[in-house]
Structure 1
Amino acid sequence: MIDIKSMTIPELETYLAEIKEPKFRAKQIFLWLQKGVTSFSEMTNLSKSLRETLQKKCYIADAVIQKCYCSKLDSTKKYLFRLHDGELIESVLMDYHYGRTICISTQVGCRMGCTFCATGQSGFSRNLTPSEMLSQIQTAERDGQKRISNVVLMGMGEPLDNYENVLRFLELISNPDGINIGMRHISLSTCGIVDKIYDLAEKKYQLTLSISLHAPNDAIRSQTMPINQRWHIEDLLKACRYYSETTGRRISYEYAMISGLNDSDDCARELGERLRGTLCHVNLIPVNTVSGTSYRKSMIDRQQVFIKILAKAGITATVRRTLGADINASCGQLRRRYQSEVEL
């Protein structure tokens, strides 16, 4: 079966020519798919025979809500979506003053193995298709009856480990005839697949690149992030500098504050020296409590000292606002909890 929602308009034109259908139908089909229809019968301006042909040869990917948790502290929603093959993924919908932001998954599970991440503890199943990434947004919009204006690829999975599908998703989501979310409203978070950062830089997309750094040196980073064994911090930062120089975009460095591990004054000073003079911002994140680890989040006063030390090096830093704390809104936790309940 053909994954029709992952196709671009030119690809749809080629496919329609193969089944002896006129070229102009491609844009009609594309518009329906971008509206989020889940059945070919909804494409009312197509002939009945074409709808029947598409039904036989193609499928429309969807993300069905398995569970939805609504925060009592704010308007955050956390979705557990079921895909066509029964796999489960998560998305988080958040309200900010500048619009609605959704954090979507790019893989079922993750193979990066970061020790502070709930997703990594569940292992890796498969990559998501571009259509499955789109479907998370479309389903959340249907559920909330409001437009989503910003997308963050920071849910389950490592986006650059699913590089080609993510590129296709970016092409589809930013298409003016589709959902039409511009690149400046999209953030992509990676733990540091260096060769793909160079490849992404050449695309010159105007998206925000977020780097999960979480340490000022190799000794600490290698304790929590296995990828550092392949690409050391200096390799990663060199790629980030190239990305900024090529695209003109500021890098956002994500830094999970883990008490007693990476939150000392010395860590702050070393981080400041490494990033000094670069186009960047540091996003400090109080680490989430994940079962199976002894990690504890840094105290608020420690976070503030860290910020002041970075400021002396000319590096701006803020503490990420915590949303959906009462519903475990960090990705990976809901899927694990649901699977445990089902097994019981």
Structure 2
Amino acid sequence: MVALLGLSQPELKEWVQQQGQPAYRGQQLHQWIYQKGARSLGDITVFPKQWRESMAEVAIGRSSIYYRSQAGDETVKYLLKLADNQIIEAVGIPTEKRLTVCVSSQVGCPMGCDFCATGKGGFKRNLAAHEIVDQVLTVQEDFGRRVSNVVFMGMGEPLLNTENVLVALRSLNEDVGIGQRNMTVSTVGIRHRILELAEHKLQVTLAVSLHASNQVLREKLIPSALRYPLDELMAECREYVKITGRRLTFEYILLAGVNDLPEHAEELAELMRGFQCHVNLIPYNPINEVDYQRPSKDRIYQFVKVLEEYNVAVSVRYSRGLEADAACGQLRAMKS
């Protein structure tokens, strides 16, 4: 049976009518799921008791917190147990004005990026839309404050689960009330999927995980680059900007002595030439399986300086949650 979480108010109205209830029950159901955090129909006390009991097997689609770890900067990592006992990660990242949730889109990840912990554990399955929306509601409830921003930068490759990600984006926007401009979808780049996303004309930010300035280096770091050459990826990115009118973000993890040299910065600047974009540099966050190192602050500064000399919009993002293994590239479905 389909979970109710992720359904719109019209869809919930249709569902309750199919169960022999009046349409207004759908509006009540919508409020209890998205605003009051109901985890079962039995929680919804405005419904007739007999009907609630008869619908006891219907799943709203909420997970349970299997493990919770808080870093010194108040970032919280959650391991969430799904209905089939699979474990995924979500991260709550608070500031004074914002609460950002980093959500997963798959159980594990098939991309196998060499510097990322998630891919080391392999791939299990795509997440359903309700399993994505649930992550945001779980963090919102645990923090006791509204989520303002959502980034699809957790476990998995969102554009290998486009159908469910699109449903989740709609629900997070229309049902949970998060503006599309406050949501970011991150992809390593899947052939044709960026243009498919463009056709939906969403106001979300697309972040492309580039991590290398040339094809040879990208193939070493990202196995899927063998099947999707950098020049083709960049052409699709340019077309995305033309179709949507939205600025693209390029994510670039800096690995000491690997992709952080001045010549890499010059190559990257050349790739950025001619269209609206922003480069987000991320100093590497360590994992146990590989021995990459984070560059020195001076090396990072020199890289930024080169990009700025080429008039490339650039910023450096030092990841939150490092102590709790909740930073970029560290997510894995196990206790650490």
Q: TM-score range by the shorter chain?
A: over 0.9
Amino acid at match of 2:103: I
Q: Distance in 2 between matches of 1:184 and 1:334?
A: 25
State the secondary structure of the residue aligned to 2:56. Answer: helix
SS of the counterpart of 1:311? Answer: helix
Q: What residue in structure 2 maps to residue 163 of structure 1?
A: 162
- How big is the shift at 1:197? 0.8
Q: Return the alpha-carbon distance in structure 1 between the equivalents of residues 34 and 28 of structure 2.
A: 10
Q: Does 1:250 align with 2:247?
A: yes
For 1:37 and 1:98, the matched residues in 2 are separated by 27
Single out whichever of 60-69 and 263-272 deviates more from structure 2. Answer: 60-69
Letter in 2 for 1:229: L
Letter in 2 for 1:264: L
RMSD over aligned Cα atoms: 1.7
Supply the distance in 1 between the matched residues of 2:97 and 2:181 (Cα, whole angstroms): 13
1:335 positional shift: 3.8
Contact persistence 2:251–2:280 (CA under 8 A): yes
Structure 1 residue matching 2:231: 3-state secondary structure? helix
Show the counterpart of 2:124: 125
Compared CA separation, residues 47 and 332, structure 1 to 2 (3 A)? farther
Cα distance in 1 for partners of 2:17, 2:187 equals 39
* Cα distance in 1, alignment partners of residues 314 and 54 from structure 2: 55
Amino acid at match of 1:43: I
Greater shift, 85-94 or 20-29, is seen at 20-29
Equivalent residue number for residue 177 of structure 2: 180
The answer as to whether partners of 2:117 and 2:331 remain within 8 angstroms in 1 is no
Q: Mapping of 1:293-308 within 5 angstroms?
A: 293-308=290-305
**TM-score, structure 2 as length reference:** 0.95
Hey, what's the Cα distance between the residues in 2 that align with 1:336 and 1:2?
25
Residue in 1 that maps onto 2:74: 75
Residue in 1 that maps onto 2:42 = 41
Question: What is the letter of the counterpart of residue 241 of structure 1?
Answer: R
Corresponding residue of 2:205: 208
> Equivalent of 1:240, from 206, 229, 237?
237
Aligned residue number for residue 93 of structure 2: 94
CA deviation profile, 1:6-56 (whole Å, cap 9, x unmatched): 322333333333333322322221221112211212212222233234323
Alpha carbons of 1:45 and 1:337: their partners in 2 closer, same or farther (altered >3 Å)?
A: closer
Gaps of 5+ in 2: none
Contact 1:3–1:61 (CA<8 Å) still a contact in 2? Answer: yes
Letter in 2 for 1:308: K
Q: Is the 8 A contact 1:119 1:331 kept in 2?
A: no
Question: How far does the alpha carbon of each residue in 1:233-262 deviate from its partner, in whole angstroms, 9 at most, with x for none?
Answer: 111111111221222211110001111211
Indicate conservation of the 8 Å contact 2:91/2:102, yes or no. yes
Q: CA deviation at 1:332?
A: 6.8
1:248-297, CA deviations, whole angstroms, 9 ceiling, x for partnerless residues? 21111000111121111111101101111211111111112122212111
3-state DSSP class of the match of 1:4?
Answer: coil
Instruction: Find the residue that maps to 2:99 and give its secondary structure.
Output: strand
Residues 9 and 27, structure 1, Cα contact 8 Å, conserved in 2 = yes
- Which range moves more in the overlay, 198-207 or 75-84? 75-84
Task: Find the aligned partners of 2:11 and 2:90 in 1 and give their Cα distance.
Answer: 28
**Cα separation, 2, equivalents of 1:90 and 1:295:** 23
In the alignment, is the contact (CA less than 8 A) between 1:187 and 1:209 conserved in 2?
Answer: yes
The SS at the match of 1:259 is coil
Residue of structure 2 equivalent to 1:7: 7
CA contact 2:17–2:23 (8 Å) conserved in 1: yes
CA separation of 1:337 and 1:9: change in aligned 2, threshold 3 A:
closer
- Runs of 4+ in structure 1 deviating by more than 4 angstroms, as ranges, are 331-334
Give unmatched runs, 5+ long, in structure 1: none
Q: Name the counterpart of 2:84.
A: 85
Q: C-alpha displacement at 1:336, in angstroms?
A: 5.2
Number of the residue aligned with 1:228 = 225
Report SS of the residue matched to 1:5: coil
- Could you tell me which of 279, 288, 302 is aligned with 2:276? 279
Is the partner of 2:46 in helix, strand or coil? coil
